[in-house]
Structures are given as structure tokens and as C-alpha cells.
Structure 1
Amino acid sequence: MSKPAVKVASLAFEIAAGANVPTEAHLLPVGPFRADDGRPWDCEAWQLDATIAANVIQRLRDRKNDTLIDYEHQSLRSEYNGQPVIAAGWFHDMQWRDGKGLYAIGVDWTSTAKQRIADKEYRYISAVFYYYSATGEVLDVISVALTNTPAIDGLDGLDDDDGIATLSKRFSLPDLNPETTDMPRPEEELAALRVTHAQTETALAALTAERDTLKTQVAALTTERDTALGELAALNKQINDDRAAAEAQQKTDLIAAALTDGRMAPALTPWAEKQSLAALTEFLETTAPLPVTQRQTGDDRTTGTAALTAEQKKIAEQMGVTEEEYLATQKKYAGK
């Protein structure tokens, strides 16, 4: 059964020397980051951000004991060289700083370490950390040391399974057993992806069928709309034709009535036929019947006097003709 591969790496930052030795130390930068010597070799870069750092910080806070800062990582070497581990300082908290990285804070240096830092006997602080080799994600800071050799000799020897097992006895390694960890195994992730893929294909098929159904419905609605528009156009045409026929008949009836009751002389018939129904109606409503002497009656069709009556003058004015032109038209039709 596969387990996530965990490796060990180290990185060092220079300590600002001065009369007052700082009580904080820069351990790791913002990810992605790499060492100057080209590491890591097994992933593109080490990864560290605020979320990852929060887990690293919490693991440190969950430990009961303070975290040791030694000299030259002797805590990693003591099992092999038999030399004692001398403390340079202790700390029990870390802090993430945006744009800078992970810091050890509240460092309690020993008096000897303070003097050595002030005298520049030691210039670097080096953090050793676990990380996932597949992703480069930082898991835990397991060792911190004052050093003048940022690259730790022999560290590669701790990168194999035996080295990890040895370190796990001395330091708190996160539980990476597939039986107890929440991290899915690759085959589990692949199975989940296959299920997701199948669900996506099913959803896509359903959406495709729904789309095709909607296309059919849209086509039917389009045909129904076009039919309704055609029927509406035909109905509007019929209404307009009926209205025009009705208006024409009304004009004919109005002209006939006006000729009969004397409101209009026969000579005005061509003019009246050219008028709209509204204009003709308005004209006839304001026109009184002509005197009997001005009507064309019987076979002799007398035209009466040469002078126009007030009503005839009004008619001539509305027609846009002179009195002489009006009388000439009267005489023309009277002789027929």
C-alpha cells in the first residue's frame, strides 16, 4: 500500500549581528522557494504559504516541550558521533509574516549563544524540515541550529526510509500511515476522479437531451408564431379592405343624399369623390341646402342668377377656385 513520500531538507538564513541579539529568527521563506545549490531535486520547488504555515505552527504549539536550537545540528548527529547536544536556545512558537515567511519568535538564547552571535562566531540559523517530495509542501520544522555551514554534510543520508525512521524516533513526524491519515491514496484519488468523470458524462448527456428537447419546442413555437403573424396580417388586411369599402359606400351615400337634399350641386360631384370621408362629412355638416333657384332641376337645369350665394362662395373657397371658375363649372354641367 503506497504512502506519501516524505523527505528532509534544510535552509539557512543569516542572523543580524549586533549589540542586541534578536529574539526572533527567520526559518523559511515564502514559497515556492529553492536553495542556492539547486535543491530540491525531487520536486519543482518547496511550497509554503499562510495556510501551509498555519499547520506547521500548530504542530509546534501542540508539542509540550520547547523546541531546541542547537549548534551545527548536533541533535541530528549525536546518535552517530556520540557527542553531547548543547543548547544554544529554545522557543515554543512561530509566526507567519506575509511577504517574508516563517519565523521562530520568543527565542530564549543562552548567554553563550548570545555572545557567540554578537561576536559573529555564528552567522546563520538553519532549519531542517519535512516536506512531501511529490508536491514540495512543507510539513514540519524538526530541527533548528546555529551554524556556519548552511548545507549540512550527511543530510542526504537521512533522506532514505531508514533515515526517516531514525528521525521519527527523535522528532514528531506527522502521521502519514494510509490506514490512519485522511490523505487519500493515489488509487483512491483515481477512483474518485473516475466516479466524477462518469457523473459528469451522465450530467452532460442529460443536458444534451434537454437541449435537443428545447430546440424542438423552440422550432414548434417559432412555427406557431409565424402562423399567428400570418393570420394577423390577413385579418388586418381584411379589416382595412372592409373599412375602405365601407368608407367608399358611405361617401357614395353622402354624395347621393347631398345631391338629393340640395346641399351640394351636381357640379361638385367629381370634387366630392376625391375627398376623404372625414373631410366630406365635415363639409356637408356645415353646408345648408341650396335655394331651389340654384339647383339643377328637371330637363332645363336652370342655374339661377350669375351671383354666388354665401354657401356657394364658401364651397368655392374650400375647393380653391374663383367665383368665376365656379360659375363656369355650374354652367358647363347645367348645359348637359
Structure 2
Amino acid sequence: MKKLFQTAALLLTGCALAALRPRASPDYLLSAPARPSRPTRLNVTIPIGSGDPPTEFRIWGYGPVETVYGTFQFTARSGELCMAAAEEYGNDLFFDYDHAFWAEAGAPDKGKAAGWFRLELRADGLWAVNIRWTPAAEQAIRDKEWRYFSPALDADTTGEITRLWNIALTNLPATFDQVPLVAANVRDHRSPDVRASVSLDSLYGLLNAAIRERYREAWLFEVFNDYAVFEHLGTLWSVPYTVLGTSVTLGPDATEVIRTYTPVQGGQTMRTLLTALNLAATATEAEALQALNSRLAESASLRQQLLSATGQTEVQAALGVVAANAQAAVQLGAANVRIKELEDETRTTKLSGLIARGKADKKLTPALETWAAGQTPEALEAYLEHAPVIAQLAAPAATPPVTPGEDLGDSAPAGEPLKFNGKTWAEMDGSEKHNLHFSDKATYDRMRADHQKRTG
């Protein structure tokens, strides 16, 4: 095998295929050599069955590509390299006839295309998709003038495929057990690499019959290289199978199939999208689309709200306004705190002044100072404006006038009643009695008792 790789023509120039001029041939043209002077070819054999030419088919599945020249490997890295080269090239890849494009000499129209296609990397391998055959090639395939396809590829010294250049229609395969081109189109473009002596139509019939015999009311959903998928009572199941001659044998057990999205380079569905949408890996396409549309609608609504609130027409300008407002809010908060501190200081100072004034004006007793300290400056100021002067604070402490014959004992009093500031108890008004109670409780009690004794 190593000798094969060493002696094969190494054709690695960077010429654009669209130039349609000969370049050094690719490492391998996967068709058997028509004559010894041509580069080594390794056909990936897909016989063309009955029906319309395919619009897509799988070129290689992951794993070994067995040919008469040895075994090549199509790996995950192979897929990435092939897709990267195709994306860098940017143009459609093309089909030609029997690798005529790579011939060193030939007819002037040897580079004529049989069709055009794009590459797509899927979970099961590398696919030619969006195939557009020329009218001549389409008719030739229908007439079975061409039956197989042959990729032109590059591979490294280990046999790992590193690039796909183009694909040729050919009739001399070198790769074993290639799947029919047209049959691939008939069976939803995911044909198995069946290495058996039965046609795909026969395989479908045999598998369907075997599954229905074992699982009533089941129907065949899909067929792969070594297992089949079927639906039974609304659930998908997979079951292995083997082909021997013209008979099919199912494996002993079926396994439930859970549809998941797999991150595939070049594919449309990526696990990262489901993660970004906070969806489980088992989410359906409809659920993913619904979540995505919801996010887009929410984003559009928030954008409009932002622009409306800031009076801007561009998001970046609106964000600038928001940042400025946020900074202003921080500064305003600090200013409000300072204002509150100053207000508290002013209130305390003003209250202290009012209390001092009330005491000086003889309108606040010591007992009233605590009450006054809990008032607002406005309330205390109004109180002091209307409060009377407390007489006992304005004059020295009174001594009861001496009245001849006064008797505050149990016997009836003799002489005139007691007086305070020239007034008897009956002559004093309520505020005078109130002030006397707080300023001279003993005199207050004596005068009140004297009055009660005299009045009975």
C-alpha cells in the first residue's frame, strides 16, 4: 500500500477548476485505469439503476473506502478538509466524463462538464447535493451509457482522503460495492452500502416483510448499512440485519430510536443553536424554530422600546444615552444623600434654637423639652408662637400667703382662703392651675385642699 502511495501521481497545484485547463492531476482518480499511461484511478462505484438521475447522493461514508488499489480512509478530518477546500474555492464543483478533464491530451472539449454540484457534510458522510445535470448527461444516464461515478481526490501517505476535486461519470469501477446512483435518489438519497447479491428494491421488500412478520402494524422507515429503522405504533425502532445470498435475517432485539440533532460541519442543524436557545438536545426542528422566532420577536420589541425611550434611531446611540442616564442616576443618588444629611443637620440646629428660645421665653418646662425635641421645626415654632408664658417660670417660687387663723387640718378652716399671686383657687383659671401644678406641686395641693374644705 505504501508503495502504491509513493508511486501514485501527486497532483497538488492550486489552479482554479473553473479555469478549465489541465493542472497536475489529483492524487487519485477513483476509477480503474483505462490505459497504463493515465494516473491511478480508484472508482467509488455507484451503479445507475432505473429512474431519474439523482439530484444528490453520498460520495463517501465514514470509514474505509475499499478499492482494487487498496483501502483509503474517509475520516471526520477528511470531511472537514474537503469542506474547507470547497468553501475556499467558492464555485460549483463539476462532473466530467471518464476523467477527461485531467487527461494530458485529448479532444478540445475534453473539459466539458456533465453537470454541477455542491458538497455537504452530513452525519453519515460526504454528499454531492444540488446536482444539475446537463441535458446530454441526463439523457446518457437514463440510457445507461454511464453507470458509475468516480471522484478525483487527494490523499496523504496514510491513505486519509484530504480533498475532492471533482467527480467523473465512468463505466470501469474499482471500488467495491458502490450504491446505485438512481436507486439512491429513489430511496430518499440515503442508500446503504449493501454488500450483497440482492438489489435495493429486493432488500426493501425482504426487510419490510421480515419486520411486519415480527412486529404487526409496523412499516419500514429507513435502511442503513447494517440496520433498518421502522415505525411501530408511533415509535421509531432500529433493528440490525444481515444479508446472506437472497435472504435477510433480523437481529434479536430492536432499539428505540431517539431523534437528536448532531453538530455536523456544513449542515444546517447545530447543537450549539439548541444550547443557545436553552433547548434540550432532543428538541424537534419545530420547537427550535419556535424558540428562535420568539427570541427574534423579543429582540425586535426590546430594540423598539430602547429607541423609543431614548429618542434615538440607532441602537448604539441609544445605548450611549442609557449609559449617560445611568451615570447621572448615580450622581443624583449621591446628591440626594448629601441633601438629606444637610436637611437633618439644619433641622437639628433649628430645633435646638427653638427649644432654647422657648425656655428663654418661659414657654417650655423641662418636662416639655423632650416632647419639643421630637417635633418638626415648623410644628414647634407654631407651638411657641401661641403658647402662654408659664407663670411659675416667670416668677420666683411662691410661698403661701399667711392668713390669720388658717388651718389646713381636719377642722374647718378659719379666716380667709389661701391665695397665690393674689388669687384664690376659685379665682385662678385653668392655665394658672396647670402651671402651678408643674412649678409648685406642694402649693397646688394646699390651695386645692383649702378650696375643697371651704366648698364642702
- The question of a shared fold, defined as TM-score above 0.5 by the shorter chain, is answered with no
TM-score of the two chains, using structure 2 as the length reference: 0.28
TM-score of the two chains, using structure 1 as the length reference: 0.38
Q: Which has the higher helix share?
A: 1
Structure with more relative contact order (C-alpha pairs < 8 Å, separation 6 or more): 1
